[in-house]
Amino acid sequence: MKGLLTRRMGVRPQPVSLPPTMDPKSKSQTDILPGGAPPPPRRARLRFVLSVVALTALLRFFFVLAPIVCHWHTNSVPHHNSAAGVCPQESPLVPSKNGALWDELTASHATTAFRDRAVAQLSAAVQIPTETYDEMGPVGEDERWLSRGPFLEHLASAFPLVSANLPLQRVNTYGLMYTWQGSDASLKPILLMGHYDVVPVAPLSADQWTFPAYSGHFDGENVWGRGSSDDKSGVIGILTTIEVLLEKGFKPTRTVVLSFGFDEEAGGYHGAGHLGPALLKRFGPDSFALIVDEGSGLTDTYGATFASPGVAEKGSVNVNIEIKTPGGHSSVPPAHTSIGMLAALIVHLEAHAPVPTLDIDTPAFGIAACLAAHAPAIPRKLRRAVLRAPKSERARKQAEKLLLEDTMFRALVGTTQAVDMVSGGVKSNALPEQALAVVNHRIATQSSVNATTARDAQLVRDLAARFNLSVTAYGEQLTSAADAAAAYGTLELSAPRTLEPAPVTPSSGSAYALLAGTIRATFRAARSGKSKGVEEEKEEIYVAPGVMTANTDTRFTWELSKHIFRYGHGSEGLGNIHTVDEHIKADAFVEMITFFTTLILNADEATAL
């Protein structure tokens, strides 16, 4: 016992020398008592033994059980210290060499005059419709591309210093590549991206807008209109930033390249699909220090504000399911028409939707870890489960169960499926000879296109036999020739366009540190209250690596950099993008300009990129 206690106390036990009178081999009780005194009475001996037992128990509690109890008590109360080392935060990063310029510009951004200037630029851009439709023909053949012309003319006149100082390369007519040449060619440039096309305004909902969809109306707080949030705010925010820097005489050391697509809302194949290869041809593989495109912004979650730059992007695939059966008059119908068969297949797919799992080595778990580490109002049970998950399978399953109850997080973690389009039949009294469904999948970062399409094929194959349908999946005949010849009809799966999940950007290292530090500095500068002459307590923001569930034009830039981020600073929520009453707060738009200003100046003097 003594050795155990001393080891727990950090004291090394020393050898004990027994005097001759205490020789343990002595057979006489009187020999081991001082002065040869007679042994104590039985009651005294009993009290002595009980005292020793009590003392031993007390010491054992103090050195053995007390630390366990204290540890349990600490972890039973939400406290940041219990998450030490989880989701570490970069210090706010402000320019040093260009510190005076940054101070001047951020002070200017806080003024009403600058806000009104920025809002006017965005409003004018929103007033020019640049709608993108699915399946548009090639540029030069489809007249709907002509709507881009007026927008490009507007940019040339609205940003005269950008037009005069940044050489512009037009790619596939309407793709824009600006180059702001730096003085040090040995430094990798940064690439800032955006798109200026918008989704169409549905005619049936045009009268539901608070202000006309292309009015660019400013009500003193918000800018309203299609594209105000997605993504003309990004394009105009970048150009306004550079225009102002040029006005101040700033000359970059590190080259800044801008790439603006014009059909991101239809996949970007005509715009960024040409810009990406042009950039690769000009600059080469892994030529950019970092890339920043549109993405998620700021959210308030469990009592804390988080910024979630996308370090990953889910893949996507549209699986077309087509059934063909014999036609005929509807007065003599079969047991199941092609439409009925398709309906059964859809029900079967939805009844066996992909089941998401929370894997530790994924960006989605990184988000959960940041919430557990920094969100003060996160439920205690969830916090403990997430923090213990890396070392406990039981805790991981508990965290998974709790987190997947949230619909948004569930979509973030796993592969999703949504039956978005159906068609079939041509007349009420004619049996439908064809029925088609389109199933959209957003593929989890830890999965693949092949795993997703193969799963669909297996599911429909199991049910196709019930209707005596032959099955062809992605060009491969899955039914034997004999069975196909005897089949009542055919079921075919196809996936014309696929996109694998994007490579995951490291959420550590110099590029991520620069971005995270820039985000935190921007947030503090925009909300410090200094412009009002009042030193207010600075709000806090935490940066958590995020996952884009939608796809951006960065799909065409994977070879250009290992550090690709999808982030839209200032935006809070989706701002009604793609629907009625799209808008952005004016203050949020100005904060976006502060972000791009800080990013350019920080990157310009960074030595580790």
Q: What is the pLDDT of residues 121-131, one digit of tens each?
A: 999 999 999 99
Do residue 467 and residue 342 come from a single domain?
A: yes
Amino acid at 400: E
User: Of 465, 484, 499, at which residue does a domain stop?
Assistant: 499
Q: What is the reported pLDDT for 57?
A: 44
Do residue 284 and residue 344 come from a single domain?
A: no
What does the chain come to in residues? 609
- CA pair distance 319, 327, nearest whole angstrom: 25
The answer on pLDDT for 433 being more than 70 is yes
The answer on pLDDT for 227 being more than 70 is yes
- CA pair distance 528, 535, nearest whole angstrom: 7
Q: What is the reported pLDDT for 81?
A: 38
Q: Token digits for 273?
A: 């699909």
- 247-300, pLDDT tens digit by residue? 999 999 999 999 999 999 999 999 999 999 999 999 999 999 999 999 988 999
pLDDT mean over 469-483: 95
Residue 49: Cβ-neighbour burial (10 angstroms; 0-12, 13-18, 19+): exposed
Amino acid at 423: S
- CA pair distance 450, 101, nearest whole angstrom: 51
- CA pair distance 160, 461, nearest whole angstrom: 60
Number of domains in the chain: 2
For tokens 């509807």, name the residue: 330
Do residue 289 and residue 387 come from a single domain?
A: no
Q: Token digits for 360?
A: 């530790």
* Residue 425 contacts residue 341 (beta carbons within 8 Å): no
- Give the SS3 label for residue 387: helix
Do residue 237 and residue 136 come from a single domain?
A: yes
- 488-505, pLDDT tens digit by residue? 999 999 999 999 999 999
Q: What is the reported pLDDT for 41?
A: 53
User: Of 499, 532, 567, at which residue does a domain stop?
Assistant: 499
* Residue 194 contacts residue 188 (beta carbons within 8 Å): no
Q: What is the mean pLDDT of the chain?
A: 87
Q: Is the CA virtual torsion 340, 344, 350, 351 positive or negative? A: positive
The answer on pLDDT for 245 being more than 80 is yes
- Give the SS3 label for residue 20: helix
Do residue 506 and residue 430 come from a single domain?
A: no
Q: For residue 386, what are the CA distances in angstroms to 55, 78, 84, 154, 413?
A: 40, 13, 13, 50, 14
Q: What is the reported pLDDT for 495?
A: 98
Do residue 462 and residue 358 come from a single domain?
A: yes
In angstroms, what is the C-alpha Rg of the chain? 33
Do residue 212 and residue 183 come from a single domain?
A: yes
- Between 99-109 and 232-247, two packed helices, what is the crossing angle to 10 degrees? 130
pLDDT mean over 406-411: 92
Q: What is the reported pLDDT for 54?
A: 47
The answer on pLDDT for 459 being more than 50 is yes
Do residue 232 and residue 157 come from a single domain?
A: yes
Q: Which of 589, 596, 608 is nearest to 119 (CA)?
A: 589
- 526-553, pLDDT tens digit by residue? 987 544 333 444 579 999 999 998 899 9
**Listed range (11-25, 220-234, 345-359, 538-552) with the worst mean pLDDT:** 11-25
Q: What is the reported pLDDT for 74?
A: 29
Q: What is the reported pLDDT for 206?
A: 92
Q: For residue 436, what are the CA distances in angstroms to 322, 339, 350, 378, 417?
A: 4, 8, 16, 44, 16
Q: For residue 513, what are the CA distances in angstroms to 251, 509, 543?
A: 24, 6, 10
Q: What is the reported pLDDT for 158?
A: 98
CATH number, position 306: 3.40.630.10
Amino acid at 608: A
Complete DSSP assignment for 83-147: GTTSS--PPP---STTHHHHHHHHHHHTSHHHHHHHHHHHHHHHTS--B--TT---TTT-GGGGG
The answer on pLDDT for 347 being more than 70 is yes
Amino acid at 429: N
pLDDT mean over 101-123: 98
Paired strand residues for 469: 489
User: Would you give the distance in Å from CA 353 to the centre of its chain?
Assistant: 22
Paired strand residues for 546: 310
- CA pair distance 330, 327, nearest whole angstrom: 9
Establish if 346 belongs to a structural domain.
yes
The answer on pLDDT for 319 being more than 60 is yes
Q: Where are the alpha helices (DSSP H) in 506-546?
A: 510-527
Q: Which of 280, 55, 307 is nearest to 177 (CA)?
A: 280
Alpha-carbon torsion angle 290, 294, 298, 299, nearest 10: -120
pLDDT mean over 117-144: 97
Do residue 308 and residue 324 come from a single domain?
A: no
Q: What is the reported pLDDT for 518?
A: 98
pLDDT bucket at 446, cuts 50 / 70 / 90: very high
The answer on pLDDT for 415 being more than 90 is yes
CATH number, position 405: 3.30.70.360
> What is the H or E stretch that residue 492 is in?
strand 489-494
Establish if 43 belongs to a structural domain.
no
Q: What is the reported pLDDT for 571?
A: 66
* Residue 424 contacts residue 434 (beta carbons within 8 Å): yes
The answer on pLDDT for 335 being more than 50 is yes
- CA pair distance 224, 217, nearest whole angstrom: 5
Q: What is the reported pLDDT for 570?
A: 77
**Listed range (49-63, 172-186, 344-358, 397-411) with the worst mean pLDDT:** 49-63
Given 264, 492, 582, 591, which residue is catalytic? 264
User: Of 480, 499, 518, at which residue does a domain stop?
Assistant: 499
Say if strands 190-195 and 290-301 run parallel, antiparallel, or are unpaired: parallel
Which residues are annotated as part of the binding site? 195, 230, 265, 293, 578
Establish if 56 belongs to a structural domain.
no
Residue range(s) defining the domain that contains residue 256? 99-313+502-604
* Residue 525 contacts residue 106 (beta carbons within 8 Å): yes
Q: Is the CA virtual torsion 152, 157, 159, 162 positive or negative? A: positive
* Residue 31 contacts residue 24 (beta carbons within 8 Å): no
Do residue 489 and residue 443 come from a single domain?
A: yes
* Residue 552 contacts residue 294 (beta carbons within 8 Å): yes
Does residue 530 or residue 423 have the better pLDDT? 423
Does residue 14 or residue 236 have the better pLDDT? 236
Establish if 571 belongs to a structural domain.
yes
Do residue 387 and residue 532 come from a single domain?
A: no
* Residue 444 contacts residue 501 (beta carbons within 8 Å): yes
The answer on pLDDT for 144 being more than 80 is yes
User: Would you give the distance in Å from CA 364 to the centre of its chain?
Assistant: 8
Do residue 293 and residue 334 come from a single domain?
A: no
Establish if 391 belongs to a structural domain.
yes
Establish if 207 belongs to a structural domain.
yes
Q: What is the reported pLDDT for 35?
A: 41
* Residue 341 contacts residue 435 (beta carbons within 8 Å): yes
Q: What is the reported pLDDT for 455?
A: 97
Establish if 25 belongs to a structural domain.
no
pLDDT bucket at 84, cuts 50 / 70 / 90: confident
The answer on pLDDT for 161 being more than 80 is yes
> What is the H or E stretch that residue 423 is in?
strand 416-424
pLDDT bucket at 7, cuts 50 / 70 / 90: very low
First-residue to last-residue Cα distance in the chain: 58
- CA pair distance 320, 322, nearest whole angstrom: 6
Which residues are annotated as part of the binding site for Zn(2+)? 195, 230, 265, 293, 578
The answer to whether 264 is a known catalytic residue is yes
pLDDT mean over 380-405: 97
Q: What is the reported pLDDT for 43?
A: 52
Amino acid at 476: E
Establish if 169 belongs to a structural domain.
yes
Q: What is the reported pLDDT for 234?
A: 97
Amino acid at 464: A
* Residue 596 contacts residue 244 (beta carbons within 8 Å): no
Residue 490, CA atoms < 13 Å, CB-side half-sphere: 16
- 33-77, pLDDT tens digit by residue? 334 444 455 555 545 444 544 444 433 433 333 333 333 232 333
- CA pair distance 540, 588, nearest whole angstrom: 16
Q: What is the reported pLDDT for 573?
A: 54
